[in-house]
Amino acid sequence: MICNYSFSLRATARGVKPTAALTAARLLCLLLCGPMPLGAQSSSPGQSAGLVRVDPKRAQRALERGVKAESDGRMDEALLAYDEAARYAPQDLALVGRGAALRSRLIREHVDHAERLAMDGKVAQAKEELNTAMRIDPTNQVVAERIAEMDSMQDDEPPPKATEISGMPRLKPQAGTHSFNLRGDTRSAYEQVAAAFGVKATFDPDLVSRNVHLQIDNVDFHTAVSILGSETGTFWRPIDAALMFVAPDTLEKRRQYGLQAEQTFALPSSVAPEEMTELLRVLREITGAAHIDLDAHSRTITTATKRSSWGSHRRRRRRRS
């Protein structure tokens, strides 16, 4: 916000003693407005002719727009309107103070929210709040310094965890790696690998065992069963945290044993009914999934996907021994 102090300077130059009200006005402008942004500072005397002239009527109209915008929650518009009103009536203490108070309150709210997010370890979101505060007051050095501190903290922030679908069975093998020199058939090979990682394996009755001669070194559970499935033409799916089920890798068996994951997503209230229909069409086109349903009444989209990729074992092969 730019304050016009020319009225008080001219009065002093003529030798007229400023009144107490004018003195208070100058001090309040200096305290509330602070230093002008670099783009608004004048570098030559010739630019003084571009100062906004005092116009109480325009100031009042701008003030009314600001009050309306603030009551509607449009804070950015409210600040612009209050700043405009202050330019046309810099001697109006109440008007100047209104914009300064709103700016201070908004910055404080964003900074407080940023600190709470940072304490919860959400540094990236905290920095977004501070950036919003800087857009409100680009000259605020305290906020700028806090952003710099957030940048150094962000280097240590762990990557966000992948979203998991609740309710789906998940196998929980032990962490770590093992080496295997497998000799036997499909069932015994799976049983050896499962036992090494603290889980058990059960098998489809139609599984035809093959001879297995496989040596693999320093592999984790998922790599081991991926290689084993590729060598034996099988796939697996979890039954619970400690039990896996192995079946022939055929389309029929995948349809029979594949898990179906269902998720429901709420749509924001700003999405119109025609936009919901278009969103449904785009989702089906992008994902290729047929089981995507729209409930316009509850404003939700539900997806049902066959999780036939559990333990897909056609990714890579290792050398046979």
Note the Cα 192 to chain centre separation in Å. 43
Domains observed in the chain:
6-35+52-117 (no CATH), 178-257 (3.55.50.30), 260-307 (3.30.1370)
Rg (CA), the chain: 34
pLDDT at 166: 55
pLDDT at 304: 64
Which residues of the chain register pLDDT less than 70?
Answer: 1-52, 153-167, 258-262, 269-270, 287-290, 304-321
Helices 56-71 and 75-88 pack at an angle, to 10 degrees, of 170
Please write the tens of the pLDDT for every residue from 46-83.
333 345 688 888 989 989 998 998 888 888 888 888 88
186 touches 227 (CB < 8 A): no
CA distances from 164 to 71, 116, 132, 161, 170 (A): 41, 26, 31, 9, 10
Residue 268 main-chain phi, psi, to 5 deg: -65, 155
pLDDT at 78: 86
Please write the tens of the pLDDT for every residue from 149-195.
877 765 455 555 545 555 578 889 999 999 999 999 999 999 999 99
pLDDT at 10: 39
Torsion of CA 54, 55, 56, 58, to 10 degrees: -140
Distance between CA 306 and CA 260 in Å, rounded?
4
CA distances from 90 to 7, 75, 228 (A): 9, 21, 79
Note the Cα 243 to chain centre separation in Å. 36
